[in-house]
Amino acid sequence: MNHWLIAPIAIPLLGGILQTFMGYAPISLRRTLAITTSVLVLVASIVLVGLADDGSYRVYAFGNWQPPFGIVLVLDRLAALMLVLTSVLAVFAHIFSIGGADEGNRQFHTLFLFQIMGLNIAFLTGDLFNLFVAFEVLLIASYSLLMHGGGTIRTVPGLHYVALNLVGSAIFLIAVGMIYSVTGTLNMADLAVKIPQVSGENLALVKAGAMLLLVVFGLKAAILPLCFWLPKAYAKATAPVAALFAIMTKVGVYAIIRVYVLIFGEGAGELASAGMNWLFPLALITLSMGVIGALGANNLKTLIAWQVIISVGTLLAPVALGSEAGVSAALFYLLSTTWTVAGLFLVAELVAIQRGSAGDRIVTAPKMPHRTFISVLFMIGAVSAAGLPPLSGFFGKVLILKSVEAGPQMAWLWSVLLVGSFLTLIAYSRAGSILFWRTIDGHIKPPEPMKGVVSVSTGALIGLTVLIVAFAGPINEYTVATAAQLFDTSAYTQILETPMFGGKN
């Protein structure tokens, strides 16, 4: 058993508990400890990527219970990739928050760290019920983070978000109950073995469970009929929180990839690809919907919140086609889009601070200070998000386009994705030109000087898109290997045979 697996969960847990009791300590001490914790999580994630890169599965069985009887954490390439994605994002969002966004609530850092912990549990767990628990941990932290900063504007979107997700949790439990009642197990590896053996009248029950799970993951990922809560909630959240939330929809995408490749994948007999033929059209409609929203957005944060929905549609379309190349391309795009969108949320906050009362509304206003720096960051982010060369969004989209086989699905995906990207570009150019070029004469109250941590973290997060291009080769090799590992489900189920007692692996 490898004890590194517990590190990405234990570090933020301990750091968060420490923060809980430090509410009245000087803020500089709290900030130092909080950032240290985030950085330690990043270090642990990088160690785990190094471990996972050899292509084997590592299991951490709590209490040394032999799976499938106990809860296990499973580390594979996908989990490690998601951990790094999250912790890099979290570190920069966290650094941004110490620029002043963490004031006003003594427990901001606690909640932030618990949010990271919930995300890490969700990525590492190998148990369906534990995935539910992970969702609840990250959700309850996100409920409070969403309300951070106070003000009446956040109450109503927060209430909608909480009520919707509570219903989502109820549906998750029903789905888990249905699947458990037939298979008698919730361990993912064991489910992958047991689901193909389901027959007769039980098939319908498990299929209903699978579809309900898709609804829950769809709600988390914000695919079309379940996405209307997102723009309001994300646009109203404090900037570092909105940046961190860029990963929240990706948890839904991750769960869909994990569950529908491993458990209801091609090897699932009668239940193979249950619900996946629904997902492809839904993903494309989500993408179109996001583009329409982005075109109609009247402030920058709403525009970027719709970009989150566009990303989800773009990610799920190749995943729904169920090919190895599609999943690999989606994972590459996942890295690029998550960091870029999070960076754009931070840029929007910089714009809002600099423009005084005009805020981030897309209207003409007097020239803002630091115009060059902010506009360059915005341009890099927008180019990457819209998918223009030479930045990483372009490579992600090219990989997705290349991954589909010729046929009607290819025609649909190519046309929707390309037209969508073009219209997204229009939305960004409109916003950018109004915000940065079409200025009017006038006087705005000079804002406080931009803090170093704020500009550095925003620049770094946006700059990651350039880094992805520079290391596109190794990253692509990694995602290809990840997809290959994912589709080789027989290797995953081997963890059931790993002896736990005194076993070393």
Partner 1 sequence: MELLFALVIGTLTASGVYLLLRARTFPVVMGLTLLSYGVNLFLFASGRLSTAQQPILGTAENYSDPLPQALVLTAIVIGFAMTAFVVVLSLRNLADNEDDHVDGCPPAHPANSKQEQEETGK
Footprint of partner 1 (CB under 8 A): 129, 133, 136, 140, 143-144, 147, 152, 155-156, 158-160, 162-163, 166-167, 169-170, 173-174, 176-178, 180-181, 184
**Local structure of residue 75 (DSSP, 8 states):** E
Phi, psi dihedrals of residue 444, rounded to the nearest 5°: -115, 150
In total, the chain counts a number of residues equal to 505
- Residue 406, burial from CB neighbour count under 10 angstroms (0-12, 13-18, 19+): exposed
- In whole angstroms, the minimum distance from the beta carbon of 65 to partner 1 comes to 13
Is the Cβ of residue 69 or residue 437 nearer to partner 1 in the bound state?
A: 69
Q: Whose Cβ is closer to partner 1: residue 226's or residue 320's?
A: 226
Nearer to partner 1, 9 or 162 (CB): 162
User: Closest separation between CB of residue 244 and partner 1, Å?
Assistant: 19
Euclidean distance between CA atoms 6 and 13, whole angstroms: 11
Q: Would you state the torsion angle of the CA atoms of residues 358, 363, 364, 370, taken in this order, to the nearest 10 degrees? A: 60
Q: With respect to partner 1, which residue has the nearer C-beta, 151 or 449?
A: 151
Residue among 169 and 498 whose Cβ is closer to partner 1: 169
Return the sign of the alpha-carbon dihedral for residues 349, 351, 355, 359: negative
C-beta separation of 128 from 186 below 8 A: yes
Smallest distance from the beta carbon of 171 to partner 1, in angstroms?
Answer: 8
Task: Tell the smallest beta-carbon distance from residue 217 to partner 1 (Å).
Answer: 18
Q: How far, in Å, CA of 226 to CA of 144, rounded?
A: 21
Closest distance to partner 1 from the beta carbon of 183 (Å): 10
Shortest Cβ 282–partner 1 spacing (Å): 23
Cβ closest to partner 1, residue 81 vs residue 141:
141
Which residue lies nearer to partner 1 by CB, 135 or 395? 135
Nearer to partner 1, 156 or 419 (CB): 156
Q: Parallel, antiparallel, or unpaired for β 58-61 and 72-75?
A: antiparallel
Name the token pair of 144: 């409070």
What angle do helix axes 472-487 and 452-470 make, rounded to 10 degrees?
70
Q: Which of 113/319 has CB closer to partner 1?
A: 113
| The pair of three-digit structure tokens given for residue 187, joined into one six-digit string | 């361990």
d(CA 145, CA 335): 23
- Least distance between partner 1 and beta carbon 297 (Å): 20
Asked if 465 and 392 touch (Cβ cutoff 8 Å), the reply is: yes
Locate 295 and state its tokens: 């075109």
What CA–CA distance (Å, rounded) separates 167 from 412?
A: 33
Residue whose CB is less far from partner 1, 151 or 473: 151
Burial of 402 from C-beta contacts in 10 A (0-12 / 13-18 / 19+): exposed
Q: How far is the CB of 208 from partner 1 (least distance, A)?
A: 12
CA separation for the pair 232, 481 (Å, rounded): 37
For the chain, the distance separating the N- and C-terminal CA atoms, rounded to the nearest angstrom, is 6
Please identify, using beta-carbon distances, which residue of 11 and 212 lies nearer to partner 1: 212
In the bound state with partner 1, the residue whose beta carbon lies nearer, of 33 and 173, is 173
Q: Tell me if 214 sits within 8 A of 149, measured CB to CB.
A: no
Which positions ≥6 away from 151 have C-beta within 8 Å? none
Q: How far is the CB of 122 from partner 1 (least distance, A)?
A: 15
- For residue 318, what are the CA distances in angstroms to 16, 219, 308, 323? 37, 19, 17, 8
Which residues are CB-contacts of 447 (< 8 A; sequence separation ≥ 6)?
353, 354, 356, 369
CB of 188 to partner 1, least distance (A): 16
Quick one: which H or E segment has residue 60? strand 58-61
Least distance CB 159 / partner 1 (angstroms)? 5
Phi, psi of 76 (to 5 degrees): -135, -175
